[in-house]
Amino acid sequence: MMIELNMEITIKNKRICESIIKAVEPDNVTAPSTITIDMICQNESMKIVIKSSDTKILTFRNTVDDLLEHISIAMKTISEMK
């Protein structure tokens, strides 16, 4: 079964968006091999595409949860540094 999730998070500052992506990239490497995560900064937002083939739905959901948690932590850390 193929699962795909497209998300868009508004982040008006491109440098902050790129910093968040760099901060969470190492965590994406540990995602299951059947899941791919692509993230880009475009038009004042972070666009995220998560695709999975042959993965249990709970594994997919847990991967999405982890990614969102790491993005949230990175956003909070960067906002504290301002």
Q: How many CB atoms lie within 10 A of CB 68?
A: 14
Going along the chain from its start, the domains and CATH numbers come out as 2-81 (3.30.310.50)
The H helix count followed by the E strand count for the chain is: 2, 3
Q: What is the C-alpha separation between 4 and 34, in angstroms, rounded?
A: 12
pLDDT of residue 16: 93
Percent of the chain past pLDDT 90, that is, above it, reads 78
Which amino acid, residue 24? V
Q: Where are the alpha helices (DSSP H) in 1-56?
A: 14-28
- Kindly report the average pLDDT of the chain as a whole number: 92
Residues 32-56, mean pLDDT to the nearest whole number:
94
Q: What is the C-alpha separation between 51 and 15, in angstroms, rounded?
A: 26
pLDDT of residue 82: 64
